[in-house]
Structure 1
């Protein structure tokens, strides 16, 4: 069977193609007579390994798998279509984010993180780093506030747009400032996906994401990855994955790669729907604090428009209190009450129920799916009427 190796595949045929074409073909092996065009997952814990293992493309199931290789080639192609890059897949988004933080930082060093990051980053990971003797400095995403904390830092950690508040920072500006001070830059690109924003092209050293969400889009797997142009950084991430066992399953990796073929279609529809929903919600008196970076009235719009090609599927807003929000969620018919975001079916939740985000009790994070925009708007407006 056509087996990938540890050498990058030749994707010269993808030079200059459109985003949809790239997403559909990234990481797909060259055509071979009588072979499937998209090979299935490889299930194995070990490989036939005669003689000296040095130079062998695959040696053991925790070190590598052909199914991972194809996915990682695809992710590298999406994150950095104009220059070579290396992607490393993990069992979850937190597996990828933890690998970046814990493989690149040492006791006594400092990291600058967003104060409004995803709650596991803002809470658990920050506490873990502090326990390891790493100085954690935090500032909000908005207004590039992390700039003021960069002196002496080893790593600048960005999350833009932020989750769940949807603030945006200027990646180019922050990356340039960090590099002037000798710091690496890692960007959590989960909400945007590489079709909405490419941190490596904007100056970052690493782009990382939870593939659980919009990247794969079907709410049926856990996956994460990090991508870098520097092979030495990628090698450290692979070693961390191997020694901690944070490896993706072959079925999850195969499902993720399969899902990339529709990434452009899904995210374009979701972005258009999210903008339509945000515009409709602006007209409702019950809704306050409405955020979506694609709205021209949004405080993040100017910066977002300078670095994002599409603005994502998430809309956030606040309703008048916990009880109102819960009545609203219960009245929805097309929108599931669920955590996470990026799925083809719309979902929403009262984010304050987890207790880890500094948001009002009536704060709603809405993930807009691929349903017809008019149907979603009608469902949301009817639920607001019912809740009132």
Structure 2
């Protein structure tokens, strides 16, 4: 495992180290559709759809974190689409997790079927046993959202590469600071930076990162030609959020580990999924490839009504979809059609002070027992 905190030091000081006297520490928000372009058009900023200085600032920061080239997008799904478009040709074969983020499966079914993409869906926990020969692309999401199953990225990537395929890993639930998927063998990393990477629940953002120049050129070209471009203000917010990533993750992971053990022992809870629990099915693999087990906990209650009461009654839990924000939030994922029990809550642990957060959740659990 690389020394990821060293990457954070480099990220925090990358812009500062290049400034001249009088320049701002934070990057400027450049609202530009046009740039001065006399003579030959070859320039880093020829037109607003091609590139932007504020994008460049956040891509530099993301690139340091990933130790790779990064290209930013206006949402996680825009990044997902770009990665797929850059990697697949018509009639290709794709292996997709059946328990990953559902919108990726909907995208394939609704739009990529017209390109005759052959899709096979396999649960994340079974990816390691799946025969990957003949697949042009294997898509991984580990820990999976919302079930929190994991798979061995390095082992799967080695087998996929032996058979001539590519591997893309959706690293949204872990972030590159907790799980460096490119170091583990993925060809591309995809992330919805809307979640923990930016962390303040105030911006839609995403990125693709990779070390293959030709593949990343296709990703960048897709953004330019499709017009899937982020706004400069959004890029600035993403950059600002990245600056506190390590601090936020430290608090979130510390509290998540405490809460996972509380849920594990509480009589109001039917079952717990958390890769940091020693008897969790994901523990062995997660311990090998993740710096920490993360900030998301799967908490199962007896039924949907009890799960909803837990979220609604706890003053320290915000009832909303998405995850990774500074406020602890929860939602009953079966309402979206995910293959989880009706009483399953995906709890995203936030940055609140640990003691009052744990006390509020304990009190709510006691009221349900």
TM-score interval, normalised by the smaller of the two chains: over 0.9
* Cα displacement (A) at 1:268: 1.1
Q: Structure 1 residue 376 and structure 2 residue 364: aligned?
A: no
Distance 2:55 2:13 in 1: 16
Could you say what the CA RMSD is over the residues aligned between the two structures, in angstroms? 1.6
C-alpha change, 1:17 and 1:151, in structure 2 (3 Å) is closer
More helix by share: 2
Q: Structure 1 residue 31 and structure 2 residue 19: aligned?
A: yes
Q: Structure 1 residue 141 and structure 2 residue 124: aligned?
A: yes
Q: Structure 1 residue 103 and structure 2 residue 91: aligned?
A: no
Q: Structure 1 stretch 323-332 or stretch 359-368: which is displaced more?
A: 323-332
C-alpha change, 1:26 and 1:155, in structure 2 (3 Å) is farther
Aligned residue runs from structure 1 range 1-388, under 5 A: 18-26=6-14, 30-54=18-42, 56-80=43-67, 85-145=68-128, 147-355=129-337, 357-388=338-369
**SS of aligned partner of 2:316:** coil
* Cα displacement (A) at 1:228: 0.5
Cα deviations across residues 283-307 of structure 1 (Å, max 9, x unaligned)?
Answer: 1122123111122221111101111
**1:216–1:260 contact (8 Å) kept in structure 2:** yes
**SS of aligned partner of 1:282:** helix
* Cα displacement (A) at 1:17: 6.7
**SS of aligned partner of 1:195:** helix
Distance 1:122 1:345 in 2: 29
Distance 2:262 2:4 in 1: 37
Distance 1:353 1:369 in 2: 22
* Cα displacement (A) at 1:132: 2.0
**1:271–1:310 contact (8 Å) kept in structure 2:** yes
Distance 2:17 2:335 in 1: 45
**SS of aligned partner of 2:47:** coil
**1:93–1:223 contact (8 Å) kept in structure 2:** yes
Cα deviations across residues 232-278 of structure 1 (Å, max 9, x unaligned)?
Answer: 11111111111221111101111111111111100111111111110
Residue correspondences, number: 367
**SS of aligned partner of 2:72:** strand
C-alpha change, 1:127 and 1:150, in structure 2 (3 Å) is farther
**SS of aligned partner of 1:375:** helix
Gaps of 5+ in 1: 1-14
**1:156–1:184 contact (8 Å) kept in structure 2:** yes
C-alpha change, 1:157 and 1:275, in structure 2 (3 Å) is same
Distance 1:143 1:301 in 2: 15
* Cα displacement (A) at 1:348: 0.4
The match for 1:6 is none
Distance 2:4 2:144 in 1: 31
What TM-score, normalized to structure 1? 0.91
* Cα displacement (A) at 1:154: 0.8
Distance 1:27 1:304 in 2: 33
* Cα displacement (A) at 1:127: 4.0
C-alpha change, 1:27 and 1:98, in structure 2 (3 Å) is farther
* Cα displacement (A) at 1:373: 2.0
What TM-score, normalized to structure 2? 0.96
Distance 2:65 2:197 in 1: 11
**SS of aligned partner of 1:194:** helix
Distance 2:341 2:5 in 1: 44
